[in-house]
Chain A
Amino acid sequence: MEKLLEVKQLTKKFGEVVAVDTISFDVRKGEIHCLLGENGAGKSTLTECIFGYYHPDEGTILIENEVVKIKSPNDAISKGIGMVHQHFVLVQPLSVIENIIVGTPAATLRLNKNKTIKKFDKLCENYDLNIDANSIIWDLSVGQQQWVEILKALYMDARLLILDEPTAVLTPQESEKLFKILRQMTQEGISIVLISHKLNEVMQSDRVTVLRKGKYVATVDTQKTSKQALTNMMVGREVIFRVDKEEIPVGKPILEIKDISIKADWGGDLLSQVSLSVHQHEILGIAGVAGNGQKELFEALVGVLKPNSGHIFVDGTEITSAQPQEIMDLGVGHIPQDRYKEGLIGEFSIAENLILGMQRNPQYSAGWFLQKKKIQAFAEKCLKAFDIITPSQQTSINNLSGGNAQKVILARELWQSTKVLLANRPTRGLDVGVIEYVQKQLLQMRQEGYAILMASEELEDIFNLADRIAVIFKGKIMGILKTEDASIEEIGLMMAGQQI
């Protein structure tokens, strides 16, 4: 098969950090080629260099065996390279067609929409997609918005399509449909570079290139490898997949959420009559695509957002309109969805972050004054117990990796809480090793008697850890099933809004 794209010895540095270290690989015409690697492996940086967003320090890029210099994304697009990022770059208040025209030759003083609409409609027809060219972006679902991003690239006649974690925001059914259409595209001669860490999807590609810490590890034919082999290459050592979850009889309900509703400023419902109860020794998983009310639910539970109606109880005490401090005092811990914004102070040291929320606690302060020695001792304990890798406890959180920062939060919340743990996307953006660790910790807490409410977009996490699964869609609970009775298909349908 012919090579469409070839990258030779590409290097990209950011200061002293070598994000991409002399990586070479190639993409054949009409293949789905996966780039696999953990955080910081260099996948995004590499593709951004191909897309012209970054300029490589060293190395060459060849398209159809001709050396090219890609000076900007515009340049890349004109050479037939399209990219869909993890965070969409669509203009929300504008229509689909306006988003497609922006930046193209058709965007002159008089917008020549008709030609564009014709071409767009033809593309939609070809791939059996149903998107109205004149609809406004913010009326579309996240899945549909992603299609607009992909169609934008195809409209510009992309021969190479780079997709960065495309299924992060899709239900299982939507992912299936995406892959079907990707296959159709490859049959038409388009090559696809897929950045993904979801091994299920990676196994659907033709070839996989594994990166680790900025370096090239290997390129393998997907047919000839396995999930285990790929993980080992990604991490550099043997990784055992299995999560040992023992059967534990649940205790009494500790966290009771009754008919919680929260209205949005624009009149719609952020949460609608949500009722859940979490027992001791139980993990209740909330499955759902991000943006369906998980954020608001957790904010209400933590005390940062007041529900319009309904009641929340922790071990019998009502906390519906309680302040965060009161809820913390009742033994509730929280692993926030956005760890840097809601859970950590980047400029503070690890030690200072470990006592965030406890700075007036007699354990760490005497009267007005902080007890530096006691804080230091506590921090030492945490660093050891959670294997947090850092030069010192005085290092600021901003200088830590995402995984180590999450461990700081975990250490703190485990220590501060006694009864309930609210975990919102606890393994997001973490490396395989840390994910393992976090899962172990959560199961440990379950064994100790905590009631754990966990929201996650990764169905694998939910199925591995949860005893029961609740599916949330547009602020409503679509159903609650025992994990052993649930199937991915059922959950996927509920995530897309279908009542079972």
Chain B
Amino acid sequence: MIKLEIEKRKNVGLVWQVLSFIIALFAAMIVTGCLLYWAGLDAIEAFLAVYEGAFVGVEAIVETLVRATPLILTGLATVVAFRASVWNIGQEGQLVLGAIFGFWVSMEFSYLPYYLLIPLVIVAGFVGGGALGALCGWLKSRYDVSEIISTVMLNYVVIYLLTYLISGPWMAPGEFYLHTAPLSENSILPTLLEDTRLHGGFLISIVAAIGIHVLINKTSFGYDIKAFGYNSVACKFKGMNVPRTLVLLMMISGGLSGLAGAGELFGVQDRLSGSIAQNLGFTGILVAMCGGLSPLGTLLAAILFGGLVNGGFMMQILTGVPASMVYVMQAVVLLFFLCSGLMATFRIRIIIQKRVKQ
């Protein structure tokens, strides 16, 4: 008699984690491919177009990096929180509030020279997102408010705040559209590569990725974050200042999303409007999960997701497949990735049962 048994692996190696992501990717492509085929479209052509649009040629790569920039930051924001088992789902709101703070500073201090104003708006972005994150961290530590509820609810509050600002006090004078006046020249992030959209925000996101990697793996606070994520009870018994840890890590998490907001505003957009968010916050969560909740993995996953979005446009132009298909792909990739995570953690054993002779 043959039996199948499932048992947990002792150590999930890096190889398996990367392999599981690649398998998830392929599975997602197959599923999306089937959808396209069913709709009467050419899947292979579509995927090749995505690849071409994402990674072929300097222009394509640069645009992919531009798309990846905010995702790296919101992804890192997710990593910092999720590693501590604190489920921050407020990246969207934290990003927007960062942009709001940044905008306010750029208007208030528009008389400053660019080398002062630009760092100032970036810091403002961090402060905006960070304050919101810290608030949620405080609510959790003081009143045991679920961070899932507080962060998600505050997302809505911030989005409505944005709508109010751009349709009221900050609305561009004399215009009908819901947006602010153009940003002051001296607050706009410098371009890293001539004639491209690659802006200073990309540099910030790379520095942030390295910084968070060091934070989590080499500092005492990183130790706290991981320890708290695995076993908060033992941490309490062994003297951890839990409220301080919670507020601090949520502040960092929110701040990273705030940086993403400021980066998008002053690097890509020309004014503050409703299109500042575009689900960059939520996609950051996907990116972090696919990156295995590691800062460097998140960096890679963000570039991949950025490539998908970028390539989607090329796909639409070349093959007529709507660009929004890439969002379907993103979702499918995550689903398969979560399943493949199971594959990496468990393995199947085949048992052949012998009958003992009396």
Inter-subunit contact A14/B238 (CB<8 Å):
no
- The interface-forming segment of B61-69, B142-150, B266-274, B350-358 is B350-358
Inter-subunit contact A324/B238 (CB<8 Å):
yes
- Find the residue from A9, A15, A302 having the highest chain B CB count within 10 A: A15
- Per-residue CB proximity of B208-230 to A under 8 Å, as 1/0? 00000000001111011011001
Q: Which residues of B contact A9 (CB under 8 A)?
A: 356
**B278 interfacial by beta-carbon distance below 8 Å:** no
Inter-subunit contact B234/A342 (CB<8 Å):
yes
Instruction: Pick from B220, B230, B351, B353: contact of A368, CB below 8 A.
Output: B220
A345/B231 contact (C-beta < 8 A), A15-B349, A369-B220, A370-B220 known: yes
Inter-subunit contact B237/A343 (CB<8 Å):
yes
A345/B234 contact (C-beta < 8 A), A328-B239, A368-B220 known: yes
- CB contact list, B218-263 vs A, under 8 A: 218-221, 223-224, 226-227, 230-231, 233-241
**A399 interfacial by beta-carbon distance below 8 Å:** yes
Complex: chain A residue closest to B236, CB-CB? A304
A359/B234 contact (C-beta < 8 A), A58-B353, A58-B356 known: no
Rounded to whole angstroms, the CA-CA distance of A352 and B234 in the bound complex is 13
Q: Which residues of A contact B218 (CB under 8 A)?
A: 369-370
Rounded to whole angstroms, the CA-CA distance of A345 and B229 in the bound complex is 10
Inter-subunit contact A342/B233 (CB<8 Å):
yes
**A381 interfacial by beta-carbon distance below 8 Å:** no
Inter-subunit contact B358/A324 (CB<8 Å):
no
Rounded to whole angstroms, the CA-CA distance of A334 and B237 in the bound complex is 9
Inter-subunit contact B237/A359 (CB<8 Å):
no
A328/B238 contact (C-beta < 8 A), A345-B227, A346-B230 known: yes
A348/B351 contact (C-beta < 8 A), A58-B356, A304-B237, A369-B218 known: no
- CB contact list, B290-333 vs A, under 8 A: none
Instruction: Pick from B219, B221, B356: contact of A59, CB below 8 A.
Output: B356
Inter-subunit contact B234/A368 (CB<8 Å):
no
Inter-subunit contact A356/B353 (CB<8 Å):
no
Inter-subunit contact B220/A15 (CB<8 Å):
no
**A387 interfacial by beta-carbon distance below 8 Å:** no
Rounded to whole angstroms, the CA-CA distance of A327 and B241 in the bound complex is 13
Inter-subunit contact B230/A8 (CB<8 Å):
no
- Give min CB distance, A424 to chain B, whole Å: 11
Q: Which residues of A contact B219 (CB under 8 A)?
A: 368-370
A348/B356 contact (C-beta < 8 A), A15-B349, A341-B234, A343-B237 known: no
- Per-residue CB proximity of A447-491 to B under 8 Å, as 1/0? 000000000000000000000000000000000000000000000
Inter-subunit contact B356/A341 (CB<8 Å):
no
Instruction: Pick from B5, B226, B233: contact of A341, CB below 8 A.
Output: B233
Rounded to whole angstroms, the CA-CA distance of A356 and B7 in the bound complex is 30
Rounded to whole angstroms, the CA-CA distance of A307 and B224 in the bound complex is 27
Q: Which residues of A contact B241 (CB under 8 A)?
A: 323, 325
A324/B223 contact (C-beta < 8 A), A8-B356, A9-B356 known: no
**Main secondary structure on chain A at its contact with chain B?**
mixed
- Find the residue from B227, B230, B234, B238 having the highest chain A CB count within 10 A: B238
- CB contact list, A296-347 vs B, under 8 A: 302, 304, 323-325, 327-328, 334, 336, 341-347
**A357 interfacial by beta-carbon distance below 8 Å:** yes
**A39 interfacial by beta-carbon distance below 8 Å:** no
Inter-subunit contact B358/A359 (CB<8 Å):
no
**A180 interfacial by beta-carbon distance below 8 Å:** no
**A273 interfacial by beta-carbon distance below 8 Å:** no
Inter-subunit contact A60/B238 (CB<8 Å):
no
**A417 interfacial by beta-carbon distance below 8 Å:** no
**A125 interfacial by beta-carbon distance below 8 Å:** no
**A365 interfacial by beta-carbon distance below 8 Å:** yes
Rounded to whole angstroms, the CA-CA distance of A304 and B238 in the bound complex is 10
- CB contact list, A154-181 vs B, under 8 A: none
- Give min CB distance, A11 to chain B, whole Å: 9
Count of A residues near B, CB < 8 Å?
A: 35
**A252 interfacial by beta-carbon distance below 8 Å:** no
A324/B237 contact (C-beta < 8 A), A14-B7, A60-B358 known: yes
Instruction: Pick from B220, B224, B237, B349: contact of A302, CB below 8 A.
Output: B237
A342/B356 contact (C-beta < 8 A), A360-B220, A365-B220 known: no
Inter-subunit contact A357/B7 (CB<8 Å):
no
Inter-subunit contact A347/B230 (CB<8 Å):
yes
Inter-subunit contact A324/B236 (CB<8 Å):
yes
- CB contact list, A5-23 vs B, under 8 A: 8-9, 14-15
- Give min CB distance, A401 to chain B, whole Å: 14
**A57 interfacial by beta-carbon distance below 8 Å:** yes
- Give min CB distance, A338 to chain B, whole Å: 9
Inter-subunit contact B223/A343 (CB<8 Å):
no
A348/B239 contact (C-beta < 8 A), A369-B220, A370-B218, A370-B220 known: no
Rounded to whole angstroms, the CA-CA distance of A323 and B244 in the bound complex is 13
- Give min CB distance, B120 to chain A, whole Å: 25
- CB contact list, A112-170 vs B, under 8 A: none
Complex: chain B residue closest to A17, CB-CB? B7
Rounded to whole angstroms, the CA-CA distance of A365 and B7 in the bound complex is 38
Rounded to whole angstroms, the CA-CA distance of A348 and B227 in the bound complex is 8
Rounded to whole angstroms, the CA-CA distance of A348 and B238 in the bound complex is 15
Rounded to whole angstroms, the CA-CA distance of A348 and B225 in the bound complex is 12
Q: Which residues of A contact B353 (CB under 8 A)?
A: 57-58
Rounded to whole angstroms, the CA-CA distance of A58 and B353 in the bound complex is 7
- Give min CB distance, B105 to chain A, whole Å: 28
- Give min CB distance, A17 to chain B, whole Å: 10
Q: Which residues of A contact B7 (CB under 8 A)?
A: 14-15
Rounded to whole angstroms, the CA-CA distance of A325 and B230 in the bound complex is 20
- CB contact list, B184-229 vs A, under 8 A: 218-221, 223-224, 226-227
Q: Which residues of A contact B238 (CB under 8 A)?
A: 324, 328, 343, 356-357
A60/B356 contact (C-beta < 8 A), A325-B241, A357-B239 known: yes
- Per-residue CB proximity of A258-299 to B under 8 Å, as 1/0? 000000000000000000000000000000000000000000
Rounded to whole angstroms, the CA-CA distance of A368 and B215 in the bound complex is 9
Rounded to whole angstroms, the CA-CA distance of A369 and B351 in the bound complex is 48
A359/B356 contact (C-beta < 8 A), A324-B238, A341-B234, A348-B226 known: no
Q: Which residues of A contact B239 (CB under 8 A)?
A: 323-325, 327-328, 357
- Give min CB distance, B350 to chain A, whole Å: 12
**Can you list 21 pairs linking A and B with CB atoms under 8 Å apart?**
A8-B356, A15-B7, A57-B351, A57-B353, A59-B356, A304-B236, A304-B237, A323-B239, A324-B239, A324-B240, A325-B241, A343-B234, A348-B226, A348-B227, A356-B234, A357-B240, A359-B227, A368-B219, A369-B219, A370-B220, A399-B10
Residues of B bordering A, CB below 8 Å? 5, 7, 10, 218-221, 223-224, 226-227, 230-231, 233-241, 349, 351, 353-354, 356, 358
Lowest 4 CB-CB distances: which A-B pairs, in order? A325-B239, A357-B238, A15-B7, A324-B239
Could you list 20 further interchain pairs (A-B, Cβ under 8 angstroms) beyond the known A57-B351, A58-B353?
A15-B5, A15-B7, A304-B237, A323-B239, A324-B239, A325-B239, A328-B239, A341-B234, A342-B237, A343-B238, A344-B231, A345-B227, A346-B230, A356-B227, A356-B234, A359-B227, A360-B220, A369-B218, A369-B220, A370-B219
Residues of A bordering B, CB below 8 Å? 8-9, 14-15, 57-60, 302, 304, 323-325, 327-328, 334, 336, 341-348, 352, 356-357, 359-360, 365, 368-370, 399
